[in-house]
Structure 1
C-alpha cells in the first residue's frame, strides 16, 4: 500500500459514496486508476466493505458503554467465546495492562443495560469489570 492508497482510503472513510470521478480528481489520478486501486484493495481484503454511519440518537441501541474486563487465570478463551455470542456486545478487544479485554456494549434503556452488565459480570471466568457509559461522540 502506497500513499495514494492511504489517501484513497482516507477519502472513502470520510464518504464512501464519493464518486470515482471525484475521487480521481482529489487524488490527481485517472478514473481507471481509482477503480483499479479500489478493486485491488477489495480483492486483497484491505477494504472489507462499505457501511452507513448513523447519528447516535437515531440508532436503536441508544445506551453505549465500554466495559473493561479482568479474566481469571486461563478462562480467556471461554470468556471471549461467551462475549462474542452476546447480542449486546458490538465489539470486543483484547488488551494489555490492567484489563484483559474491553467490550463495547449497547442497550435500549438504562434498565436493559443494567441487566446486560449484570449478566456479563456473572460469566464464569470474569473476575472484575469497570464500565464507562459513553455520553457523546465527537468524531466518527
Structure 2
C-alpha cells in the first residue's frame, strides 16, 4: 500500500459513498486509477466492507457503552465468537493490559443493556467485566 492508497482510504473513511469521479478529482488522478485501486484493495482484503454513520441525533435514543472483559486464558476465542454473534456488539477489540477484550455496544434501552451485561457475565470463560455508558462522542 502506498501514499495514494492511504489517501484514498482516508477519503472513503470520510464518505464511503463518494463518487469515483469526485475521489479522482480530490486525488488528482484518473477515474480509472481510482476504480482499479479500490478493486485491488477490495480483492487484497484491505477493504473488507463499507458502513454508514448516522447523525448523532438519529442515534440519540440508543444506549452506547464500552465493555471491558477479562477472559480465562484458554477461552478467549470462544468468548470472542459468542460476542461477535450478538447484535448489540458493534465492534470487538483484543487489547493488552488488565482487560483482554473491549466491546462497543449499542442497545435500544436500559432493559436490553442490563440483559446483555448479565449474559456476558454468565458466559463460560468470562472472569470479569466493566462497562461504561458513553455520554458523548467528540470525534468521528
TM range (shorter): 0.7 to 0.9
Aligned residue in 2 for 1:22:
22
Gaps of 5+ in 1: none
1:131 and 2:126 aligned = no
What count of residue pairs does the alignment treat as equivalent?
Answer: 140
Gaps of 5+ in 2: none
Deviation at 1:20, TM superposition (A): 1.9
Equivalent pair of 1:72/1:127 in contact (CA under 8 Å): yes
Deviation readout 1:81-104 (Å, 9 max, x if unpaired): 322222322222211111111122
Q: What TM-score, normalized by structure 1, do the two folds share?
A: 0.87
Tell me how far apart the structure 1 counterparts of residues 33 and 63 of structure 2 sit (CA, whole Å): 43
SS of 1:92's equivalent?
strand
Q: What TM-score, normalized by structure 2, do the two folds share?
A: 0.87
Aligned residue in 2 for 1:74:
74
Equivalent pair of 1:61/1:106 in contact (CA under 8 Å): no
Aligned residue in 2 for 1:83:
83
Aligned residue in 2 for 1:92:
92
Deviation readout 1:37-68 (Å, 9 max, x if unpaired): 12211222212222221124424970011111
Deviation at 1:132, TM superposition (A): 1.2
Tell me how far apart the structure 2 counterparts of residues 126 and 15 of structure 1 sit (CA, whole Å): 37
Aligned residue in 1 for 2:36:
36
Aligned residue in 1 for 2:111:
111
